[in-house]
Amino acid sequence: MLRLLRYYAPYKKHLVLAVVCNLLMSFFMVVSIPVLQPFLQILFNPKELSERAEASQPLAEVTGVQYIEQHINHFFSNLIQEHGQEQALLIVCAFLVFTFFGKNLFRYLSLYFLAPVRNGIVRDLRQKLVGKILDLPLSYFSEERKGDLMSRISADVQEVEWSIVGVVESIAREPLVILGSLVFMIYVSPELLVFVFGLMLFSGIIIGGVGRSLRKQSGQAQGILGLVGSLVEETLSGLRIIKGFNAERWQSERFGRENTRYARTLTRLYRRKDLAAPLSEFLGIAAVSVLLWFGAKQVFAGEITAATFITFLYAFYNIIEPAKQLSSASYSIRKGMGALERVEAVLNAPVSIRDEGQALEVADFKDKIEFRNVSFHYKNADRPALEHINLVIPKGKMVALVGASGAGKSTIADLLPRFYDVTEGQILLDGHDIRQVRLRDLRGLMGIVSQEAILFNDSVWNNIVFSTDLPAATATEAVEAAAKAANAHEFIEKLPETYNANIGDRGNKLSGGQRQRLTIARALLKNPPILILDEATSALDSESEKLVQAALDTLLQNRTALVIAHRLSTVQHADEIIVLDQGRIVERGTHEGLMEEGKYYRKLVELQAL
């Protein structure tokens, strides 16, 4: 629970109010216990109450518990003498109603103040998770399943709410009720209280032993649920391929195995959790039976009155129910801690790519980009992705990267905006190591157009603007100008709601060429001095390719560009072509020069011409 305290810190005010209300609720509940004793005496033996009041010592000569007992006896004895037995009984009943009204009023108020705490903590956890996911480097996600991360944001956080935050009111309330009841029971009969402590000790040993495995099993269940969520995400993403290969049965069986494993784990978990309440009830009944036997002996011996014993049993009941709640809360917390550990595994994951303490602020790109003896090795990879890369990209020049799949082209493009950090060597921006440049400034200088058009389930307008700050007065003109330059304005105007039209999940309401032109419009609106271009026309038909290529030509004007080329015909006019093979630069030069040399580049061109 100590780990949870930091999540409660922003809600101290509501938490204090909830604790105060719990204290008042417990006060009213505890006050109702001693009132029950004179109520029973008025009902069954009013003469005894008067005799005990007359036989008591003067109030000035007694202290502590005796003072309270004699004060209550005198009060109710006078009440009977002044108003009669029936009227006194009515007054006591009214007082009982008042105490229980106060108890339930403050119980509701405690829950009222805890509601924003409960929901706020869950909101904060989700917000922190999404914020951390946005901060984590791409290398983290190569080791994690997307579905599992989604499960941690949704199912695990929900489990924390149900299992931990949801039982906080029990933890805050029940100990106070138990303490007040114990004080009264000590006053009535310390001997009887021995059995209560025996019950609590016995229950603690048994329930603790059953519950120790809940935390481990809960973590296993949430992990399997993450795998199930990942399979669902893969099924939805690959539905076209699954159907095309008649793989519905294969995918269904694959999902069914993990789904069944999750159900079995959850069944074992719930069986242990559901054991808490009946086990507590059985132990409670066993203890009550012993108390009835031992208490009846004390009543027969004249050591306590029947009314006092019944009141003791009522006080004991007020311990049993809160103890059951605490027992259930203990089970729930153990179950929820497994989910919390999965959430905190993401929150505590190291962020390897971040600003240094004295990060350099950069407002513009002035001279050149230089890769100086750069090597890079992916985690768990057999060989380096890049080895000793030396490359200079002057301002205003276009450098193309070509080579077979796996040669290292995309790795170079990912190192420049620091999606990954180099293993060896340096990447310099105007003479500054990019690891010393403020990350936001570095990426602010760059625009990225990838081979796959990355769009969001939002309007055309929001996909083009995409966090770019625009003056309200000129926003419409700027967005339309970018769309026109990207050859996108014409098809946007034909959409039902033009720029306000929703383009669907990943832009699936648009064609491939239309999606790509939107990403180019987004880059044009940002107007970055450095452009990273992963050949955007390789997956398009001829007509779309012409439109997209024309948009790219506009985008590339007067910019420093690093272009990954899949179709070599698109980079013939590059200022320098870098030929990569297995992470090394094997050739470099212009198109004409490389064709004359007749080595790697010429072979690639000839292979594409076949």
Task: Express each pLDDT in 487-500 by its tens digit.
Answer: 888 888 888 888 88
What is the CATH number assigned to the segment(s) 368-609?
A: 3.40.50.300
Q: Is the pLDDT of residue 309 over 50?
A: yes
Quick check: 115 and 329 in contact, CB under 8 A? no
Q: Which residues pair with 360 in a beta bridge?
A: 437
CA 53/CA 184 separation, integer angstroms: 20
Name the nearest CA neighbour of 92 among 103, 102, 80, 82.
80
pLDDT the model gives residue 479: 86
Residue 268: CB partners within 8 Å, gap ≥ 6? 217
> φ and ψ at 495, to 5 degrees?
-70, 150
Q: Looking up tokens 């020069």, which residue turns up?
A: 593
pLDDT at 59: 45
Which superfamily is assigned to 2-347 in CATH? ABC transporter type 1, transmembrane domain (1.20.1560.10)
Q: Which region among 357-361, 394-398, 574-578 has the lowest average model confidence (pLDDT)?
A: 357-361
Contact of 481 with 522, CB cutoff 8 Å: no
Q: Which residue has the higher pLDDT, 473 or 536?
A: 473
Q: Where in the chain is the domain with CATH 3.40.50.300?
A: 368-609
pTM: 0.68
Lowest-pLDDT choice from 326-340, 356-370, 461-475: 326-340
> What would the mean pLDDT of 114-124 be, rounded to a whole number?
82
Q: What are phi and psi of 303, to 5 degrees?
A: -75, -35
Segment 357-374 shows an average pLDDT of 87
pLDDT at 373: 92
Q: Which residue has the higher pLDDT, 188 or 422?
A: 422
Please list, in sequence order, all residues whose beta carbon lies within 8 angstroms of the beta carbon of residue 284, skipping any fewer than 6 positions away.
199, 320, 323, 324
What was the pLDDT predicted at 1? Answer: 56
Q: Give start-end residues of each CATH 1.20.1560.10 domain in the chain.
A: 2-347
pLDDT digits (tens, 9 = 90+) for 47-58: 555 555 455 445
Strand partners, 564: 401, 534
What's the CA gap between 582 and 577, in Å, rounded?
Answer: 16
**Confidence grade of residue 183 (pLDDT, cut at 50, 70, 90):** confident
Q: How far is CA 424 from CA 54, 72, 373, 587, in A?
A: 95, 84, 7, 22
Residue 65 has pLDDT above 50, yes or no: no
Is 314 in contact with 40 (CB distance < 8 Å)? Answer: no
Tell how far CA 458 is from the center of its chain. 24
Does 435 score more than 60 pLDDT?
yes
